[in-house]
Amino acid sequence: MTAKEHTYLGVPVKKPKVAFFEFTSCEGCQLQLLNNEATLVDFLALLNIVNFREAMSEQSDDYEIAFVEGSITRDDEAEQLKEIRARAQTLVAIGSCACFGGVNQLKNRFNDLAWVKEQVYGSHPIESREAMPLSAIVPVDLEIYGCPIKKEEVERVVTNLVLGKSIDYPKYPVCVECKANHNVCLFDLGQPCLGPITRAGCDAWCPSNRLGCWGCRGPAEKPNVRQLRQIMHEHGFSDEQMLDRLECFGGFGQYVSELKSASKE
Amino acid sequence: MLFRVFAKDQLINLYDILAVNHIVGPVSKGVDRHGAPLYDFDFIYDFAELQLDYTATIHSLKRFVLPPRETLCTFDLQKDSWQKHVDFNAYKPTVYFGLHACDINALNKLDKVLIGNVYPDPYYAAKRKNMFIIGVGCTPQPFCFCKSMGTDSVLHGFDLFLTDLGDSYFAEIHSARAFAFMSSLECREPRHSEHLRFVEVNQERMNRFTCHVDTTDLTKILDLEFQAEVWQEWGRKCLSCGTCANVCPTCYCYGIEENVDLGLQHATKTKHLYSCNLIDFAEVAGGHNFRPESHDRLKYRYYHKHRGFVEAFEESLCVGCGRCGQSCLANITVPEVIASVRGEGANHA
Amino acid sequence: MHKLPFVDVLAEKQNHARKQDLTSFEYTFQAEITNVYPLTTTEKLYQIQIIDPEERQRFSFQPGQFVMLELPGIGEAPFSISSSPIRHGDIELCIRAVGNMTDFLARVPRGTRVGISGPFGTSFPVEQMQGHDIMLIAGGLGIVPLRAPIFAVLENRNRFGNIDIIYGARNPSELLFTYQYDMWRQFDINLNIIVDTGDADWQGPVGRITTILEQRIAAAPNMGKNTYAIVCGPPVMFKFVCDMLLKAHLPMQQIFVSLERRMHCGRGKCCRCNIGSTYTCLEGPVFDYWSVMNMKEAI
Amino acid sequence: MKVSCNIKVNHLTRVEGHGNIRIRIKNGQVEEAGWDVVETPRFFEAILVGKLWENAPYLCGRICGICSIGHTLASIRAVENAFGIVPDRQTAGLRLLLKHMETLQSHILHLYFLAAPDFLHIGSVLPLVQTHPEVVQRATRLKLLANDACDIIGGRRVHPTRTVVGGFTMLPEKSQLALIKARLEAALPDLVKTAQLFQTFSLPDFVRETEFVSLKGRDHYPFIGGDLVSSDGVVKKEDEYLQMTNEYMVDHSTSKWSRLSRQSLAAGALARFNNNFAFLHPKAREVAASFSLQPVNHNPFMNNIAQLVECVHVVIDSIVIIEELLAAKWQEPRQPVIPKAGRGVGAVEVPRGILYHAYEFDQAGRITRADCVIPTSQNNANIHYDIIELARQSAAQQRTDAEIQRLAEMLVRAYDPCISCSVH
Ligand SMILES: Cc1cc2nc3c(=O)[nH]c(=O)nc-3n(C[C@H](O)[C@H](O)[C@H](O)COP(=O)(O)OP(=O)(O)OC[C@H]3O[C@@H](n4cnc5c(N)ncnc54)[C@H](O)[C@@H]3O)c2cc1C
Ligand code: SF4
Ligand code: SF4
Ligand code: SF4
C-alpha cells in the first residue's frame, strides 16, 4: 500500500518497516493480529509489513520493528533470534511465550528433559532444550503480555510506537478492571483466581467470563502473593491449585519457588 | 415534607408510571458460594426484576454517575490544528428506584466535592441533574455501620422515600415532580396510627444495628496515630487491588489516559476511576513514589475519608455501607481498622 | 406515564463564582508554540501564545500558579508558568522531558497547536512581601516556578529590600536561564549559584545549597522577621533548607514552598495530588511552611 | 528437454507453523521429494502429567491458536468421558455452535487469506485491499461474524474462557444469540459470492488415491464424538482411536506420521465430505455440485472446495441450533464434576480433520498419561506422498521449476496444515 505521509502535532510520523516472527508457540498471538477484522485495514495502513510468514509470501530482511512470538526451545531458534535482534531497532516480544516462556516452560518443571522427550517421542531422538523467554537470549525492548495478546492493547502499543509515544502498562492487578466491569468476585462464586496479583491490561478478560484468572500477564508490581495464598486457603483451595495457575505461564517464576518451598513446610 | 401512604400492590403502578424513563434498581445477581443472594444495581426492564427487599448491593451506584471509564472528550486533528469535542455523556433522565439511605447520602457527599467545589465536575453534574431518586428503608446487615457515620437516615437528595409498614408503604415526598407522580397513584394522607407505626418501624431498625465505629475525635486520633504499628499490619495484608475503592459509593479519584486512533486523525481522552491503594497512585516524575508501601496507601485512604474530608466539609466521606470490607479479600474492614488504630482492636500491636 | 424532563447542564446557567456555565470548566484555550529554546539537554523553554487575542488578554495569573498543558492524544500535565504575569496569555513554560507527554513535547516543532487550561492553584504572596527582604532558594528544576516571582519582583524592584537568589544544580551544564543572570544582577540581586560537581570552566562554588545558605545566614545575623523566603526544589532539599531558615528565625508563615505532585485534573477532582487530604492543585502548589508542617507526608 | 530442478522451500509461507518442501528432479526422474516438519515440539503430553484434570482443557487449548476451541472441546470431552459426565442438550448445542463458528472462521481465513492469493498470483491478501476492497471486506465480514460468535459463546475467539468440563462458566445473552442468527442469515449471500469467486479459479487437476478418515455420521454431519470411519471401510469406536491413527516417527519430521490401510491417510474437510456427504445440508450439496465435487474425490486441491461447502453447511446448521436454543429456557450452565480414576478419549472434527485427546487419571483426578493426535500429523504422510506424486506427474508433463514449486506450495496449503499444532 502506498504510504500517506503523516504528521502528528507537527511531528513527522513514519510508517515503520515491520516483520513478524514466531518461535515455539501456538501462533495464536499472530492470529490475534489478523483477528482485528474491524480495524485490520487501518492497522495495516499504519505499518509497512515486510515479513509475516503466516499471512504473506514476500519476505525481506530490512525491517525496523520485529514482533516476535514464541519461546526459545532450540539452538537454531536462539541463533535466528540473535539475527533478528541485530537487524531490528525495536524488538517486541508478543505473548506470554515470548515474554515468560508461556505454557511451554511447564516442561522445565520436571528438571528432566530426557524424561519429557521420552514421554512424547519414546526412543526417537528429538532436539529440544529448556523453554526460555526471549529476554533470556537477547535484550527485548517491549513486551506485550497475554495468552493470547489483546488486540486493543496491540493496537495501542503499535500506534504509540509509530507516534514515538511512550508505552506504559498498568502496574496494578486485574481486580481493578474486574471491578470496573461490575463482575461478581470469582472467590464469592467459589472459584480460585489470580486476579489480585496479576498485571492488569486485559480488561479482566477471564473473570468477566466467570473464569478465574490464571495469571497469563505475569505479576503486577509488588504482588502480595503471600496474602493471596492465605485467601486461597480460606476459600478451600489447595496450594496445588494455586501452583497450577502460578506456574502456568512462567511469569511468576520467583513466586512459584517460594510457594513450593512454603507448601513443603 | 409531605407524607402519603399507599397499599403495597400500588407499587407496580408507581413503576408503570415511571417506566417510560430509564429505570435503575437493585436486581438479583445469583447466589454466592454459601447460597446467600447477591444483588447489584442494574437497568430494569420488568417490574419483576426489581428486588426492593434486597440486603445490599455488591457495587455502589457509582457506575451510573461516575462510570469506571468515561470518554471526556475527543479530538479531530488536522494538519496544523485540532478541535476538541466535549460530551458529558448524559442523554436521558433516569429513575433510581430503591436506594438505601447510605447510597443517597453518598451522592450528597460526592456533590460537595464534585459540584460544590470551585471547579464543578460537569460530567458528574450532568448525570446528577438527571436523576429521579426513590429511596427505600433497609434492614441493617451485620457489616453496616452507617449509624455510626450519621448516614442511617437521609434528609435530602431524594424525590421520594418509601418505608415498608407491612402491608403499605409510607412515602416521604421531597420534590414537586414526585408529588405529581404520587397524585396519579391511589394514596392518602397517613393516619395517626401510621405515624406511630412509622416511628416504630424506624426504631426497630435502629435496634438492629450490630456494627459500630467509634468516631469520637477520629480526625485527631488519625493524626496522632500516623506512625502506629497497626498500619503496617494492615499493609501486610492489603493486596493493593483497589477493590475497596471501586465498590465504595464515595471514592472518586481517577486517572486520565489519552489515546490516538489507528488512523492518526482522531484522539480520545478517557477518564478511568483509580484507587489510592494502587501502587503508582502517588508516583511522580523521576519515579519518586510518595506512598511506596501498601500501608502508606491504605492509611491514606482512611486519612482522606475520615480526616481530610471532615476538615473540608464537616463530615466524613464514609457512609458506613460496609461494601469495602465485604469485598476485600483480605478482610480489611473499616470498623476493624479504626478500632485497631484507636488501640481497641485485636489487631493492635 | 410520566416522562422526566432532561436537564441540559450545558444550557443551565450555574451561579459559580468563577465562570458562567459548566462547559467553561472543560474549556481548553487553543494556543500556539511560538518559540522553543533548548536550555540544556533535557529542558526546553517554550513560548506559548493563546491564539484568540481576546482570550489571551483575559488570561491572567499570579506568580506561582500553573497551567495544564495538553497535547491532544498524547497527554496533559501541569507546568508552572515561568514568565512575567504582565504578559498575560503569552506565557513561557520551562519543561523537562521526563516521560510520556514531556518527551513528545520535546519533538514538537514551532507553530504546533497545544491546549492550555488554567491558571490553577495558589500563588506566592508577592504583594505581601513588599518592603521585605526576599530569599529565593531553588534546587534544580525548582528555579522554574521561581522565575515568575522573580519577574514580578524585578518589575517593581524598588519596593523590595535585599533580594537573594540561591540556586543549586548538579553540574554547570544543568543550569537553567544562564542568559538571564547578568540581567538579574543588574537589578541588584545577590545571585549565588552552586553546583554539586564543577567542570573545567566552572569558576563558582562547588557544594550543596545549604553551604551557601549557611554563609548567607551567618552574614546577616538578624534576617529573621524581615525576610520572606521561597523554596523550590526536590523534596529532599525542602527539609534541610527550611530547617535552616527556621533556625535563622524566619517565621513559618513567611517561608513558602511550591510542591509537586502527580496531577491529572488540576481541578481538585482526581485526588492524585492529595497530600494527606489536601489538594495540592487547589490549596497549593504554593504553601507556607506552617501548612506543610501540618500535612502528613508533605515532604 | 527433460525436467531437472532442485526446489527447496524452507519455512513455507501462508501456513500455520514451520514446514519445508523439497523436490529434486534430474532428467525427468524424481530423485528425491518430500515434506519435512521442522517445528519445535512443546511436549504438551508430558506437561500434562501430574496436573489436575481442570488444567487439561485450559492448557490443551493452547496447543493451537487457530483451532483452540476444537482442542478445548476435545480435551473437555476426554475428561468428561473419563468421569462419566454426559453434557445436556443445552451444553451440547452451545458447544456445537461454538465449534461451527470456529470452523467458519478457520475456513474463511484459509480460503481468503492463505489459499486465494495463489490463484490470484499474489503474495498475500494485502494487495487486494487496494484492488478488490469488496473481496477483503467480504472476507473480514464473514470472519468477524464467526469470531464475534466465538466471543459471545466461548468468551474469547482464541483460547476460549467459558468452556469448562461440565459445561460453560456462563451463558450468552439470548439477545446476542438472536443477533448472531440474523448475521448468519445475512452471511449466506456472502458465501454464494465466495463460491462465485472460487469458480473463477482453476484448481489443478491432480489425483492420488488415498484413504479418508473422519468421524462417522449417524444422523448428522459429524463434528463432536461418535464412531470413526475410513473410506476404505474401517470402522472403530471413539476410544479405539489408536487403531485409526497408528502414529510413528520419521527422521525428517518433528511431527509424527500416521497410516491405516494404506501407506498414508487423509483427514480434513475433504475426508468429512467424502465420508459423510449424505448428511450435508442440501444447499451445501448444491455448492459442491456447482464445482462438480462429489464423493469420493481424490484431488487434494478440492479440500478448498470442501471447506467452502462446509462453510455453507455450518452456517445453516448454526441457524437451526440457535433457533432451538432461543426457544428453550436457559438451564444451569454447568454440571458438577466429580473426578475419578479412569481413561477418557475425546474425538472432535476440527477444521483440519479429526482430533483426538486421551487422558488417564488417578483417583484424585490427576493426569497420569496424556495423548493428543492432531489432524495435521495424520495428514503428514499424505502430504509427503502427494508431493512425490506431484513431482512425478510434473516431470512427466515437463512443467517449469517455478510452476512445480508453485503447485507444490499450493498443494501443501490446500491441506491447510496446522503445523505448530501437529508438533505440540
Ligand atoms: C504544580 C506543578 C508544576 C510543575 N511545573 C513543572 C515545570 O514548570 N516544568 C516541568 O518540567 N515540570 C513541571 N512539573 C512536573 C510535570 O508536571 C511532570 O514532569 C509531567 O507531568 C510529566 O508528564 P509526562 O506525561 O511527561 O510523564 P509521565 O509519562 O506521565 O510520567 C513520567 C513520570 O512522571 C510521573 N508523573 C506523571 N505525571 C506527573 C505530574 N503531574 N507531576 C509529577 N510527576 C508526574 C510519573 O509517575 C512517572 O514517574 C510540575 C508539576 C506540578 C504538579
Ligand atoms: S484475566 Fe488473567 S488469565 Fe485472563 S487474560 Fe487477563 S491476565 Fe490473562
Ligand atoms: S483494602 Fe482490601 S480491597 Fe482495598 S486494596 Fe487492600 S486488599 Fe484490596
Ligand atoms: S469507605 Fe467502605 S464503608 Fe465507607 S462508604 Fe466507602 S465502601 Fe462504604
Which tens digits make up the pLDDT trace of C153-179? Answer: 888 888 888 888 999 998 888 888 888
C abuts B (3+ Cβ pairs < 8 Å): yes
> Residue B312 above 90 pLDDT?
no
The pLDDT assigned to C18 comes to: 37
User: Is the CB–ligand 3 distance for residue B240 below 6 Å?
Assistant: yes
The H-assigned helical ranges of D110-156 are: 116-119, 126-131, 133-154
Single-letter amino acid, residue D68 = S
Distance B276 CA to ligand 2 centre (A): 23
Domain stops at, among A138, A163, A188 = A163
C-beta of residue B245 within 8 angstroms of C-beta of residue B251 = yes
Q: What is the ipTM of this complex?
A: 0.88
Ligand 1 atom at shortest distance from the alpha carbon of C284: 1
The pLDDT assigned to A3 comes to: 44
- More confident site: C171 or D192: D192
Which residues from C are below 8 Å from A11, CB to CB?
104, 107-109
Where are the extended beta strands (E) located within C97-142?
113-120, 133-139
Which cell numbers in the block locate residue A171?
502496574
C74·A11 Cβ contact <8 A:
no
Ligand 3 atom at shortest distance from the alpha carbon of B237: 7
Q: Which helix (H) or strand (E) holds D360?
A: strand D353-361
Residue nearest to atom 8 of ligand 4 (CA): B321
In chain C, the percentage of residues whose pLDDT exceeds 90 is: 20
Which positions 322-341 of B are in contact with A (Cβ < 8 Å)?
Answer: 327, 329-330
Chains with 3 or more CB pairs under 8 A to chain C: A, B
Chain A residue closest to B279 (CA)? A172
- Which band of pLDDT confidence, cut at 50, 70 and 90, is reported for residue D195? very high
Which residues from A are below 8 Å from C111, CB to CB?
10
Average confidence (pLDDT) over D127-142? 89
**Is A251 part of any domain?**
yes
A8·B262 Cβ contact <8 A:
no
- Which band of pLDDT confidence, cut at 50, 70 and 90, is reported for residue C17? very low
Mutate to test the pocket of ligand 2, among A213, A244, A246, A248 (most ligand atoms within 8 A of CB): A213
Domain stops at, among C87, C119, C151 = C119
The pLDDT assigned to C99 comes to: 87
> Residue C25 above 90 pLDDT?
no
> Residue C263 above 80 pLDDT?
no
Q: C269 CB near a chain B CB, below 8 Å?
A: yes
> Residue D97 above 80 pLDDT?
yes
Q: C30 CB near a chain A CB, below 8 Å?
A: no
How close does chain B come to C225, measured CA to CA in Å?
Answer: 30
C260·B269 Cβ contact <8 A:
no
Domain CATH number, residue C79: 2.40.30.10
A210·D162 Cβ contact <8 A:
yes
Chain C residue closest to B19 (CA)? C1
Chain A residue closest to D64 (CA)? A26
C104·A10 Cβ contact <8 A:
no
- Which band of pLDDT confidence, cut at 50, 70 and 90, is reported for residue C15? very low
> Residue A2 above 60 pLDDT?
no
**Is A168 part of any domain?**
no
Q: Is the dihedral of CA A218, A220, A226, A227 positive or negative?
A: negative
| Max avg pLDDT among A9-18, B277-286, C246-255, C267-276 | A9-18
Residue nearest to atom 2 of ligand 2 (CA): A213
In chain C, the percentage of residues whose pLDDT exceeds 70 is: 92
Find the domain containing A77 and state its range: 6-163
Average confidence (pLDDT) over D125-144? 89
Which residues from B are below 8 Å from A196, CB to CB?
239, 241, 329
Show the CA angle centred on residue D143, arms to residues D139 and D147, nearest 5°.
Answer: 170
Give the model confidence (pLDDT) of D331-344 as tens digits: 999 999 999 999 99
**C153 and C188 housed in the same domain:** yes
**A207 and A142 housed in the same domain:** no
**Is C124 part of any domain?**
no
Give the model confidence (pLDDT) of D258-278 as tens digits: 999 889 999 999 999 999 999
Domain stops at, among A163, A187, A207 = A163
**Is C7 part of any domain?**
no
Question: Which CATH number does the domain D44-423 belong to among 1.10.540.10, 1.10.645.10, 3.50.50.60, 3.40.1160.10?
Answer: 1.10.645.10
**C280 and C173 housed in the same domain:** yes
**A246 and A214 housed in the same domain:** yes
How close does chain C come to B165, measured CA to CA in Å?
Answer: 26
Q: pTM of the prediction?
A: 0.90
Domain CATH number, residue A74: 3.40.50.700
User: Is the CB–ligand 3 distance for residue B242 below 6 Å?
Assistant: yes
Average confidence (pLDDT) over B328-341? 94
Average confidence (pLDDT) over A182-206? 95
The pLDDT assigned to A1 comes to: 36
The pLDDT assigned to B86 comes to: 86
> Residue D90 above 80 pLDDT?
yes
The pLDDT assigned to C10 comes to: 61
The pLDDT assigned to C12 comes to: 56
Give the model confidence (pLDDT) of B86-115 as tens digits: 888 888 899 999 999 999 999 999 999 888
Half-sphere exposure of A233 (CA within 13 A, CB side): 10
Domain stops at, among C119, C147, C181 = C119
Average confidence (pLDDT) over A39-50? 86
The pLDDT assigned to D251 comes to: 85
Q: Is C95 helix (H, G, I), strand (E, B) or coil?
A: strand
Give the model confidence (pLDDT) of A71-98 as tens digits: 999 999 999 999 999 999 999 999 999 9
Based on the structure, what is the number of domains in chain A? Answer: 2
The pLDDT assigned to B349 comes to: 40
Domain stops at, among C119, C145, C175 = C119
List of residues 6+ apart from B38 with CB closer than 8 A: A184, A188, B28, B29, B30, B31, B32, B58
Q: Which ligand is nearest to the CA of C100?
A: 1
- Which band of pLDDT confidence, cut at 50, 70 and 90, is reported for residue C19? very low
Among B65, B80, B81, B118, pick the best mutation site for testing chain C contact (most C Cβ within 10 A). Answer: B118
Chains with 3 or more CB pairs under 8 A to chain D: A
Based on the structure, what is the number of domains in chain C? Answer: 2
Give the model confidence (pLDDT) of B246-303 as tens digits: 999 999 988 889 999 998 999 999 999 988 899 888 777 667 788 888 888 998 889 8
Lowest-pLDDT choice from B22-31, C59-68, D174-183, D321-330: C59-68
What rounded mean pLDDT belongs to chain D? 94
How close does chain B come to A170, measured CA to CA in Å?
Answer: 9
- Which band of pLDDT confidence, cut at 50, 70 and 90, is reported for residue A37? confident
What rounded mean pLDDT belongs to chain B? 90
- More confident site: B69 or C283: B69
Chains with 3 or more CB pairs under 8 A to chain B: A, C
**A148 and A66 housed in the same domain:** yes
**A24 and A138 housed in the same domain:** yes
Cis peptide before B120 (omega within 30 of 0): no
**Is C18 part of any domain?**
no
- More confident site: B226 or A135: A135
**C241 and C172 housed in the same domain:** yes
Distance A205 CA to ligand 2 centre (A): 6
The pLDDT assigned to C11 comes to: 58
Give the model confidence (pLDDT) of C52-74 as tens digits: 888 888 888 988 899 999 999 99
> Residue D202 above 70 pLDDT?
yes
Using CA atoms, how far apart are residues B110 and B113, in angstroms rounded to an integer? 6
Q: Which ligand is nearest to the CA of B258?
A: 1
Ligand 1 contacts (CB < 6 A) are A 166; B 283-285, 287; C 66, 75, 77-80, 93-96, 98-102, 141, 144, 260-263, 285
Nearest of C144, C168, C154, C163 to residue C95 by alpha carbon? C144
In chain D, the percentage of residues whose pLDDT exceeds 90 is: 84
Find the domain containing C88 and state its range: 23-119
Q: B237 CB near a chain A CB, below 8 Å?
A: yes
Domain residue spans in chain B? 2-341
**C63 and C90 housed in the same domain:** yes
Chain B residue closest to C16 (CA)? B118
User: Is the CB–ligand 2 distance for residue A212 below 6 Å?
Assistant: no
| Max avg pLDDT among C82-96, C116-130, D304-318 | D304-318
**C289 and C152 housed in the same domain:** yes
| Max avg pLDDT among A31-45, B7-21, C212-226, C268-282 | B7-21
Domain residue spans in chain D? 44-423
> Residue C276 above 70 pLDDT?
no
The pLDDT assigned to B231 comes to: 92
D abuts C (3+ Cβ pairs < 8 Å): no
Q: Which ligand is nearest to the CA of C99?
A: 1
- Which band of pLDDT confidence, cut at 50, 70 and 90, is reported for residue B345? low
**Is A80 part of any domain?**
yes
Average confidence (pLDDT) over B165-172? 93
> Residue D230 above 50 pLDDT?
yes
> Residue B153 above 50 pLDDT?
yes
Distance A214 CA to ligand 2 centre (A): 6
A176·B246 Cβ contact <8 A:
yes
In chain D, the percentage of residues whose pLDDT exceeds 70 is: 100
Average confidence (pLDDT) over C241-251? 85
Residue nearest to atom 4 of ligand 4 (CA): B318
The pLDDT assigned to C242 comes to: 86
Distance C267 CA to ligand 1 centre (A): 16
Lowest-pLDDT choice from A66-75, A174-183, D7-16, D41-50: D7-16
> Residue D357 above 90 pLDDT?
yes
Which positions 81-110 of C are in contact with B (Cβ < 8 Å)?
Answer: 96, 98-99, 102
> Residue B346 above 70 pLDDT?
no
**C203 and C165 housed in the same domain:** yes
C108·A168 Cβ contact <8 A:
no
**Is A131 part of any domain?**
yes
Average confidence (pLDDT) over A47-74? 88
> Residue D21 above 80 pLDDT?
yes
Q: Which ligand is nearest to the CA of A196?
A: 3
